Every structure is written in structure tokens, then in C-alpha cells.
Amino acid sequence: MKEVLIEIKDLECEIGDQKILKGLNLKVNKGEIHAIMGPNGSGKSTLSSLLAGNDNYKITNGSISFEGEDITDLSPEERSWKGVFLAFQYPIEIPGVSNINFLRTALNEKNKFFGKDPIPAKDFLKMVSEKSALVGLDNKLKNRSVNEGFSGGEKKRNEIFQMAMLNPKLSILDETDSGLDIDALKIVAGGVNKLKSNENATIVITHYQRLLDYIVPDFVHVLHDGKIVKTGDKNLALELEKKGYDWLKINSLN
């Protein structure tokens, strides 16, 4: 039997006066890849942000449970320690803070949470070289300030490199394909596939079917107006590519 990793129930949220999610339900088991597609403004990025614990949004109803534990009110860092990772659509620059130092701090904070000692420098560096090879991250980028002056492709690669370093249980890829050329897309997708196991799961948020040629989903969900209006297998993505979203919008109105 499959083990549930994350379960979202009747989730509703708002920012200011605007309701964004209006009763969203989603269950992801370990070992699965779920794709969430949908038109602009349907709430895709809100969902990813919310799962990561961004408190800009006010949750008005519903719950999120992770490995059976209610994490609805947990802080972003606690969720991170428990294994939630968000690959940002627009990775943030942190001037003066080296990529390496950033990751080491992150790993040690996680270790501290689990009562473990800080990772020894030697082990850390070994891990860095292993994991960066996975996404072909340029050596120089490791010592540069986090994302500062990185190209769009380098930023996305760096996200997947961080993901590999933190070894999360749930990875949420928020439009990781945006701004990537086809070669970069293949490398990034290759990295994600290599990190896949029966113990973790991935939620891929995307506009386009293209990414799903490389990261093949078990389920495809269509998000529209704050709700999941249709769920299918990978063929649903192909259908959406051909027909667009309008036919679903009409359906959901009915």
C-alpha cells in the first residue's frame, strides 16, 4: 500500500480581500510525481508558496498534513527541516553570501533541529561535488554569492542543486521550466529524475506540457479558480496542449 506524503484538504486562502484558493484538495503519495497545470491566475504559485509556509496568505479554511502531521501552522523553516522543498520560480539573490556558506548554514540548521552535529567540512565538500555534478553546476558558481549575477538557467540549476543537497521528501517545482532553453531544461529535468525515489515525491507546477516530456507525471491536475477541476494521467497534459484551458473553464462553471 502506498504511503501518503502530503494531504491537502479543503484549503481556502486569501490575500487582502481577494480569495485565491477556494477549497483545494490534493493527496500525494510517496514515489509519485504530480503535475499541476492551469491558466494564469488560477492559484498555482499561491499553492506552492502556501505549501512552503509563506505567511503572506491567510488560510481561512482547510488543512495541510505532511506524513500524518498537521503542518498548516508550521513556520517555513520547520517545514523545510521536515522535508518540504520549494524550487522558486524566481530564485532570490543574496549578495555577499556564498552559495556554499548558504547551504552549509541551511544543512546545519536542519541538523540542529534533529539534534545532530554540524556536518564536518570534509563531508560537506564531498557532498557538494557529488550533488553539483548531478545538475552540471559550474564550479565557480558554488563560491559566488547566492544567485547574484547568475543567468536564468544557472539560477534554476542552482535550485535543483540545493534540492539535491537538502534531500527533501517533497519537492515543489514552481515553473522551473520558465526561462529555460531546451538543453537547460533537459539537464534540470535529468537532475530531478535522478533524485526521484520511492521515499519522496514531486509536485511540478507548469504552464506547458513540454517539461512533462522529461519529468513524466503519474497524475496531472488542472487548477482553475482556486480549485482542482480535473485530474488525469499524463495524457491530460497533451490534451490541454491541444485544446487549451477554456473547455475546462466552461465545464467548471456548469
Partner 1 sequence: MSYTEKDLKEDLDNKSYEFGFVTDIESEKAPVGLNEDIVRLISSKKNEPEWLLNYRLKAFEVWQTMKEPNWSHVEYEKPDFQNISYYAAPKKKKELKSLDEVDPELLKTMDKLGISIEEQKKLSGVAVDFVMDSVSVATSFKEKLGELGIIFCSFSEAVQNHPDLIQKYMGTVIPYTDNYYAALNSAVFSDGSFCYIPKGVRCPMELSTYFRINESGTGQFERTLLIADESSYVSYLEGCTAPQRDENQLHAAVVELISLDQAEIKYSTVQNWYPGDKKGVGGVYNFVTKRGICGYRSKISWTQVETGSAVTWKYPSCILKGDYSVGEFYSVAVTNNFQQADTGTKMIHVGKNTKSTIISKGISAGKSQNSYRGLVKIGKGAINARNFSQCDSLLMTDRCGAHTFPYIECENPSATVEHEATTSKIGEEQLFYCMQRGISEEKAISLIVNGYAKEVLNKLPMEFAVEAQKLLEISLEGSVG
**In this structure, how many other beta carbons lie within 10 angstroms of the beta carbon of residue 56?**
10
Q: Using the minimum distance from each CB to partner 1, give the nearer residue, 103 or 141.
A: 103
Minimum CB distance to partner 1, residue 149 (Å): 14
Q: Which is nearer to partner 1, 101 or 178 (CB)?
A: 101
95 or 120: CB nearest partner 1: 95
- 133 contacts: CB under 8 Å, gap ≥ 6: none
Binding stretches for partner 1 (CB under 8 A): 52-54, 56, 73-78, 80-81, 85-86, 88, 91-97, 101-103, 105-107, 109-110, 113, 145, 162, 166
Q: How many CB atoms lie within 10 A of CB 62?
A: 16
Please, what is the minimum distance in Å from the beta carbon of residue 32 to partner 1?
22
Taking the complex as a whole, the smallest distance from the CB of residue 90 to partner 1 amounts, in Å, to 8
Which ranges of 97-145 would DSSP assign to H, the alpha helix? 99-113, 121-135, 139-143
Shortest Cβ 33–partner 1 spacing (Å): 21
Q: Which one, of 247, 223, 231, 252, lies nearest residue 40 by Cα? A: 223
Helices (H) and strands (E) in the chain, counts: 9, 12
* DSSP secondary structure string for all residues of 144-207: SEETTT--HHHHHHHHHHHHHHH--SEEEEESTTTT--HHHHHHHHHHHHHH--TT-EEEEEES
- Comparing CB distances to partner 1, the nearer of 162 and 209 is 162
